[in-house]
Amino acid sequence: MVSKTLVTCALPYANGSIHLGHMVEHIQTDIFVRYLRSRGDDVAFLCADDTHGTAVEISAQKKGVTPEQFIDEVWREHRRDFHDFGISYDFYSSTNSPENRRYAELIYNRARDAGFIGSKDVEQAFDETAGRFLADRFIKGECPNCGAKDQYGDACEKCSATYGPKELKQPYSVLSGQPPVWKTSKHLFFRLSRHEALLKAQLQKLGFMHPGLAAQLQQFFDKGLADWDISRDGPYFGFPIPGEDNKFFYVWLDAPVGYISSVDAWKEREGAALDYWAADADARVIHCIGKDIVYFHCLFWPSVLTVAGLKVPERVHIHGHLTVNGEKMSKARGTFINARPYLELLDPNYLRFYFASLLGPGPEDLDFSLTEFRQRVNAELVNNLGNLANRTLSLLARDKALAPADEAVGGALVREVLGRVKEIGAAYERFDHRAAIKAILEVGYAANQFLTRTEPWKVMKTDPAGAKQALSEAAEVVYLLTALLDPVVPQLANKLAAQLNRPKLTFQQLEGATYPLLDRSQPIGDPSPLIGRIEEEVVAKLVASAPPVEVAKAAPKQKVAPVAEPVAELDFADFAKVSFVAGKVLAAERVPKADKLLKLSIDLGEAAPRTIVSGIAEAYAPEQVTGRNVVVVANLKPRALKGIESQGMILTAGKGGRELVLLDPGPVSPGTAVK
RNA sequence: UGUGGGGUGGAGCAGCGGUAGCUCGUCGGCCUCAUAAGCCGAAGGCCGCAGGUUCGAAUCCUGCCCCCGCAUCCA
């Protein structure tokens, strides 16, 4: 058993606000950490903002501030959000810190010395106006294959041809609109492939990660581990690479380093991190991440740490994502709920309890259903547990005195609860918070039953001592709840403790504890309702409240969320160029290896039927479309999809996927123009 | 199509070889200390489908269907 534990959450990207999706991770980890602390472990709980990269730079530019100013403001906001949700970070740092730079350099230098850094010349587009190299997605032009305009530099969205950005015709920079020039630049690569055997072994290590997800990573070995481009040419918002001229670490290199450097920042001591991260440190590291960034944490990160002579995490706990009312959080549906609007409407303990009651140890998604949220929290937290405390303490509050413990009469209920403490702690430890909550609720039921059975409010009139005895035993259970509930709803545990007029219990104290736990000579405090119910109207406001503009894209920054461009007005002349024609589907078949595509043969009244590939396979089976009349855009430039040339497009209505309907021109003969 | 996860009463889940269970919700009754809380009871399921193994399968095996995520991909 090691003496110290470092626990981290994934570093939120400094390009947007904290939302309820983030909170799933930070709340469950906070529960885990609070349990470990309660049990007496020496835990450091750290996190930081991930601040570098082009996305942040561009956001800052748009706002007319420097990147440093931008991330500083976001950092304050993030820190406040987490604080207000009761996330008990020992320190919340930033990757744009001197400590982080130092460790990024240290790791890089060690990797280089170990021969793990290679270099390769990469010819890249350069924007002379903007004075910077252009990543593939910052350069557009005409597809060399099909001539489609405004295609990105790596692949054509129209004909799915892949090519290098240099092959684009009429290329232009997205930043300046000017044609780029071609420059060769040296890029540095991390030789991940050298660690294949080591990583395979790492993934097999018991308890390191979810076995199913480890199996999924197998595909990367099958494809062959690719070496990893870790350098970007300046100007780039990040750290310069030592020994190189105008080269910077790619943001994903220095981001996880934040797990290390935040220890130094927290301790305000250079090298403090090595207490945890040195290969032989008497400590363990546990990361908590979402399933979207498994690759980085379970392949790249262990490899980097190993080559740098540092400790590989003992455990990477991977959780699922949050859906709202069963669907992905969406701005359009108003279900994209940020942390701040939630806090303005509702007590954070509700959400902490609700998430806890749903969170299992695995990577399954969990749903924030508004009705479920309100019903469960009201029934379980407020009615069962909150009311238990209140009904017990209210009766006791008449003179605030407890009965002396009498083991001959009482203690059965308390002993029963004590018998479950271990199980509850074990559940918290494996992130099976819903199992912990379930057990705690059973404690609540048992105590409520006990009160119904002993009827102290009635007995009080005939046998005051007996009633006191029963109430005091119930109060013991409430006292136990101060420890059991503390990881999930710490503020409420504090409140209970205050009403009992005692400090709250810890799991450590509960270990080997026996009845009675309460010092019966000490009076209790003033009871009051623990927490009120969630009102339906308030929950409704949660989704009704205008969703914030900025969408925080959790981790993979390389995927920039597409911004909906306003639909440009179209001249009638241009519109008239489009030829809509009625057609009849003669045959349809699925396209192999594509679950959205159907290959259709369509009669347009021409000499030969057209082949059109359409993304309707999720909504229609081949036999369902055969024989149907459809509307076809007949003069669209042909484009290859999955190697099949599609000679047109069929019109559909709906948002896509399964929700999609073919437009029917009615009973007209193939070739009839549609206007 | 590949890959991972999953299909158990209205909802969310547990059970993973031996009489189908928990919470929420619904309905009925009891109680009145308590935040219109609590307690008791009821209705509601051929455990995705079809085979097989077994004395016995929700639980093991085989095949299939459907859902979700990732990959591919959606003119």
pLDDT at A553: 30
**Looking at the domain assignment, is residue A217 inside a domain?**
yes
Query: What separation, in Å, do the N-terminal and C-terminal C-alpha atoms of chain A show?
Result: 76
Same domain, A290 and A363: no
Q: What is the pLDDT of residue A548?
A: 40
Helices (H) then strands (E): counts for chain A: 24, 26
What is the three-class DSSP state of A589?
A: strand
Question: Distance (Å) from CA A620 to C1' B62?
Answer: 30
Do A496 and A638 reside in the same domain of the chain?
Answer: no
The pLDDT value given to residue A649: 74
pTM, two decimal places: 0.81
Interface predicted TM-score (ipTM): 0.89
Question: What nucleotide is nearest A320 when CA is compared to C1'?
Answer: B69
Q: Given a cut of 50, is residue A559 above it in pLDDT? A: no
A90 and A35 in one domain? Answer: yes
Pair (A244, A362) in one structural domain = no
- Last residue of a domain, which of A466, A487, A510? A510
Separation CA A447–CA A241 (nearest Å): 62
Residue A334: pLDDT band with limits 50, 70, 90: low
Q: Which residue is nearest to nucleotide B23 (CA to C1')?
A: A438
Q: Distance (Å) from CA A449 to C1' B41?
A: 15
Give A548-563 as a DSSP string. Answer: PS-----S-TTSPPPP
Does A259 fall in a domain? yes
Specify whether A89 is located in the same domain as A205. Answer: yes
How far, in Å, is the CA of A207 from the C1' of nucleotide B67?
Answer: 29
Q: Give the CATH number of the domain where residue A481 resides.
A: 1.10.730.10
Domain edge (last residue) among A510, A534, A557: A510
Q: What is the pLDDT of residue A229?
A: 86
The verdict on A109 and A254 lying in the same domain is yes
Residue A632 has pLDDT above 50, yes or no: yes
Do residues A405 and A520 touch, judged by C-beta distance below 8 A? Answer: yes
Instruction: List bases in chain B with any atom under 7 Å of a protein Cβ.
Output: 1-6, 11-14, 22-25, 31-35, 37-40, 67-75
Q: Which DSSP category does A628 fall into?
A: -
Indicate whether A338 belongs to any domain. no
Angstrom distance, A576 CA to B22 C1': 64
Question: Quick one: A364 and A294 in the same domain?
Answer: no
Give the nucleotide with minimal C1' distance to the Cα of A660. B74
Same domain membership, residue A590 and residue A464? no
pLDDT tens digits along A563-592: 222 233 444 554 555 677 787 777 776 665
Which nucleotide C1' is nearest A657 CA? B74
Residue A409 CA and nucleotide B30 C1' are separated, in Å, by 27
Measured CA to C1', the nucleotide nearest A363 is B5
Question: How many other CB atoms are found less than 10 A from the CB of residue A640?
Answer: 16
Rounded to whole angstroms, the distance from the CA of residue A601 to the C1' of nucleotide B73 is: 20
Determine the nucleotide nearest to A437 by Cα–C1' distance: B23
Q: Gap from A293 CA to B7 C1', in Å?
A: 27
Query: Cα–Cα distance between A235 and A161 in angstroms, integer?
Result: 30
Domain that holds residue A468: 357-510
In a domain, A132, yes or no: no
Distance CA A333, CA A324 (A): 10
Instruction: Give the mean model confidence (pLDDT) for residues A1-27.
Output: 91
Residue A550: the pLDDT is 33
Q: Quickly give A403 CA vs B22 C1' distance in Å.
A: 35
| Pair A303, A366 in one domain | no
CATH of the domain at A98: 3.40.50.620
Q: Which residue is nearest to nucleotide B30 (CA to C1')?
A: A452
Å from the A429 CA to the B27 C1':
40
In a domain, A652, yes or no: yes
pLDDT for position A544:
67
Q: Which nucleotide is nearest to A640 (CA to C1')?
A: B75
Share of chain A above pLDDT 70, in %: 84
What pLDDT was estimated at residue A157? 53
- Looking at the DSSP bridge assignments, the partners of residue A625 are none
- What does the pLDDT read at residue A644? 63
Residue A375: which nucleotide is closest by CA–C1'?
Answer: B24
Same domain, A365 and A306: no
**DSSP 3-state assignment of A574?**
helix
Comparing A46-60, A68-82, A377-391, A649-663, the range with the smallest average pLDDT is: A649-663
Lowest-pLDDT range of A1-15, A212-226, A291-305, A337-351: A212-226
Could you give the CA distance from residue A164 to residue A143 in angstroms, rounded to a whole number?
Answer: 10
Domain count for chain A:
3
Whether residue A381 contacts residue A485, with contact meaning beta carbons closer than 8 Å, is answered with no
Q: Which nucleotide is nearest to A596 (CA to C1')?
A: B74
Distance A326 CA to B46 C1' (A): 29
Tens-digit pLDDT profile for residues A454-484: 999 999 999 999 999 999 999 999 999 999 9
Asked whether residue A129 is assigned to any structural domain, the reply reads no
Answer yes or no: do A266 and A365 share one domain. Answer: no
What phi, psi does A528 have (nearest 5°)?
-155, 160
In a domain, A328, yes or no: no
In the predicted model, is pLDDT for residue A390 greater than 50? Answer: yes
Give the CATH number of the domain where residue A606 resides.
Answer: 2.40.50.140
A176 belongs to a structural domain: no
- Residues A307 and A388 grouped into a single domain: no
- pLDDT computed for residue A657 by the predictor: 52
From A216-220, A350-354, A368-372, the region with the lowest mean pLDDT: A216-220
- Reduced to 3 states (helix: H, G, I; strand: E, B; else coil), residue A605 is coil
Measuring CA to CA, which residue among A578, A570, A603 is closest to residue A674? A578
